[in-house]
Structure 1
């Protein structure tokens, strides 16, 4: 099949075109999350948004599923990016990629909530000490509130990176990735049945299916689709269905979730799986729209700044501007701000942070003696042979 051959060629180092389709999926997922926070929730408007956006709200209510799509993309991209890298390389790439925009998002969000503290529900942190803890991205592990509630997904991502670092330590191979998918699946299935909190903490049963499916999809792209890999994806899709109702209750509240059917959520999840499957099979490789690379690049800063800042702005101007123009202007404003963060903060600071971390990793390597089993053996001079000591002319025949 030409599409599969192209996909396998694209998975090889040095021959991989940019996957613009992934950028398109990412920005689409980000925008539906924005729609959920601005229209699906009533927080910004102070009244039921079904009165304001009656046609848009039924779609916006399921915008939280963009997070699940993000997790599939993350599994795909992380598996793709770590091939042939060391743990140090992996740590440098993740820290330098995540933190410059994140620090900016925390500072801007905290400043906005301090200047316009009118939406009480957005004050998820107690004081400025919590803001300092948020700068580490570890607040989810120490019980400190998020400056922006959407940051909870970042701690889930960090746990995924910690788990996948084990694969990097063992060597990123086809076999090790498949074993990782199998072991994580077993852990995620077992975690809800035990009282072992650490297992539940890292196994992340609700979200593991999406990361694991993303890894399997990348293995399809790098090598070829097999019944084993399709089986992994199918199991993850079916397991994910178990948590749909719970995720609806978490995002919409039990009363509203009970009034809605789960099938729209299941359809969105299926579409997400199908979209990444199309990328894995090379079916979307003809999409080469260069503007998508910019759209994909601003996805992360958009996610970081859109919720609390955007809701506060809508709340502040809701009595002065009509709803539709206000919604559009705040959304466009968030996109522009995300682009500025990408160009003015992410690009320069990521390079500096990456260079500094690489120097630190190199210093560790230079000052860490290798184990005896890995240390180079001293070269022993070759012992002279008898012919070296007493050369004998060749026998004449």
Structure 2
């Protein structure tokens, strides 16, 4: 996966295609919001109206997040160190997660129905981000994906720093990893939701790693055939999701190898930049607002529009007032080399920096 110096610098056109992944992330975030407000929410709270089954497709936004994460994490590991990668991931994931966690817990405790809330103990356990693996309820249902992502980051870092993701070893490593995942899909009972979710979703991250290899010119048959093998593994447990996932992967490769398809437009770049805070904040706070609007007799489409707009505005506020400034400050303090100027954040991206190739890591 490492490149020679001659190949490391991508052309502006290629950089634009990679930057288009941010636009895809923005679409994925809106898709998940739509699924929660139109399908999942009404299923949990009938007063929100009849579930819109067409919104089920919005769940595939999560799969798209996973594919993009596989691509970008594999890219961000290059030139990094174990400590630098770990610190950069902590900076990117945890501060805004803790803010979203506290905000969601308080809003639900003050204004939400009792069935939506969790105990103080459960909320404190959520600080770790691995509460699902401990059998502890999530403060927000959407948080289940964060533990899956975290486990992927750890596994990918171990493989990278252990030398298992070099170009020569990449196919062997990925097929072995996929084989273990296949065994896990078959063996782990579906009742063990978190571990079952890991087994069923890790192939999407692997597909993202392969997307990077193909994007950079790797045309070995073992690499080109891997996405089919990974999607086939998913199909054993989730046939319908595998079909949608195949379409998502094809779209990602179309963008990476051909053209951005309009995904670099300002609205989508904006949504991509705020997608992580939006993901963290939208579900239960949105449900509380939707329930309030419903109790006031507000027309359902208008209630969904108002709630979505409010959550986007809240995510943008959190991004610009808290997330970005805090990350900058922590990077200067924890990642800048001794004697480095405080303006390092505005200079060229350092190895392992989330801004590599124009992509802002959302997760």
Taking structure 1 as the reference length, the TM-score comes to 0.74
Q: Is the 8 A contact 1:119 1:312 kept in 2?
A: no
Structure 2 residue 318 is the aligned partner of structure 1 residue 322: no
**Whole-angstrom CA distance in 1 between matches of 2:333 and 2:62:** 31
**Whole-angstrom CA distance in 2 between matches of 1:118 and 1:10:** 59
Q: Match for 1:159 among 151, 160, 173?
A: 151
**Whole-angstrom CA distance in 1 between matches of 2:15 and 2:126:** 36
**Whole-angstrom CA distance in 2 between matches of 1:319 and 1:111:** 21
Structure 2 residue 160 is the aligned partner of structure 1 residue 168: yes
Q: Deviations over 1:168-198 (max 9, x none)?
A: 32245323433331221111112245579xx
Which residues of 2 match residues 25-64 of structure 1 at below 5 A? 25-41=24-40, 42-43=42-43, 46-47=46-47, 49-50=49-50, 57-64=52-59
**Whole-angstrom CA distance in 1 between matches of 2:38 and 2:110:** 23
**Whole-angstrom CA distance in 1 between matches of 2:6 and 2:301:** 43
**Whole-angstrom CA distance in 1 between matches of 2:59 and 2:338:** 38
What is the DSSP-based 3-state SS (H/G/I as helix, E as strand, rest coil) of the residue aligned with 1:224? coil
Q: Hey, what does 1:223 align to over in structure 2?
A: 217
Structure 2 residue 8 is the aligned partner of structure 1 residue 12: yes
What is the DSSP-based 3-state SS (H/G/I as helix, E as strand, rest coil) of the residue aligned with 1:84? coil
Q: Hey, what does 1:210 align to over in structure 2?
A: 204
Q: Is the 8 A contact 2:204 2:230 kept in 1?
A: yes
Q: 5+ residue gaps in structure 2?
A: 340-363
**1:9 and 1:329, CA in 2 relative to 1: closer, same or farther beyond 3 A?**
farther
Q: Is the 8 A contact 2:23 2:265 kept in 1?
A: no
Q: Hey, what does 1:257 align to over in structure 2?
A: none
Q: Is the 8 A contact 1:220 1:229 kept in 2?
A: yes
Q: Is the 8 A contact 2:148 2:197 kept in 1?
A: no
Q: Hey, what does 2:95 align to over in structure 1?
A: 100
Q: 5+ residue gaps in structure 1?
A: 1-7, 246-261, 363-397
Q: Deviations over 1:114-155 (max 9, x none)?
A: 1113251x22x2x22222221221212333211101101000
Q: Is the 8 A contact 1:105 1:301 kept in 2?
A: yes
Q: Hey, what does 2:357 align to over in structure 1?
A: none
Structure with greater contact order relative to length (CA < 8 Å, sep ≥ 6): 2
Farther off after superposition, 352-361 or 142-151: 352-361
Structure 2 residue 299 is the aligned partner of structure 1 residue 300: no
Taking structure 2 as the reference length, the TM-score comes to 0.81
Q: Is the 8 A contact 2:27 2:268 kept in 1?
A: no
What is the DSSP-based 3-state SS (H/G/I as helix, E as strand, rest coil) of the residue aligned with 1:302? helix
Matched positions, count: 327
**1:10 and 1:274, CA in 2 relative to 1: closer, same or farther beyond 3 A?**
farther
**1:352 and 1:180, CA in 2 relative to 1: closer, same or farther beyond 3 A?**
farther
Q: Hey, what does 1:369 align to over in structure 2?
A: none
**Whole-angstrom CA distance in 2 between matches of 1:206 and 1:339:** 32
Q: Hey, what does 2:322 align to over in structure 1?
A: 345
**1:361 and 1:326, CA in 2 relative to 1: closer, same or farther beyond 3 A?**
farther
Which residues of 2 match residues 269-288 of structure 1 at below 5 A? 269-284=245-260, 288=264
**Whole-angstrom CA distance in 2 between matches of 1:311 and 1:48:** 9
Q: Hey, what does 1:238 align to over in structure 2?
A: 232
What is the DSSP-based 3-state SS (H/G/I as helix, E as strand, rest coil) of the residue aligned with 2:225? helix
**Whole-angstrom CA distance in 2 between matches of 1:105 and 1:12:** 37
Q: Compute the RMSD of aligned alpha carbons.
A: 3.1
Structure 1 position 203, deviation (Å): 9.8
**Whole-angstrom CA distance in 1 between matches of 2:53 and 2:185:** 32
**Whole-angstrom CA distance in 2 between matches of 1:299 and 1:9:** 33
**1:147 and 1:195, CA in 2 relative to 1: closer, same or farther beyond 3 A?**
closer
**Whole-angstrom CA distance in 1 between matches of 2:168 and 2:48:** 51
**Whole-angstrom CA distance in 1 between matches of 2:329 and 2:37:** 35
What is the DSSP-based 3-state SS (H/G/I as helix, E as strand, rest coil) of the residue aligned with 1:301? helix
**Whole-angstrom CA distance in 1 between matches of 2:106 and 2:329:** 25
Q: Hey, what does 1:143 align to over in structure 2?
A: 135
**1:44 and 1:319, CA in 2 relative to 1: closer, same or farther beyond 3 A?**
farther
Q: Deviations over 1:212-265 (max 9, x none)?
A: 1111011111233332221111111222222226xxxxxxxxxxxxxxxx4xx4
Q: Match for 1:86 among 81, 85, 100?
A: 81
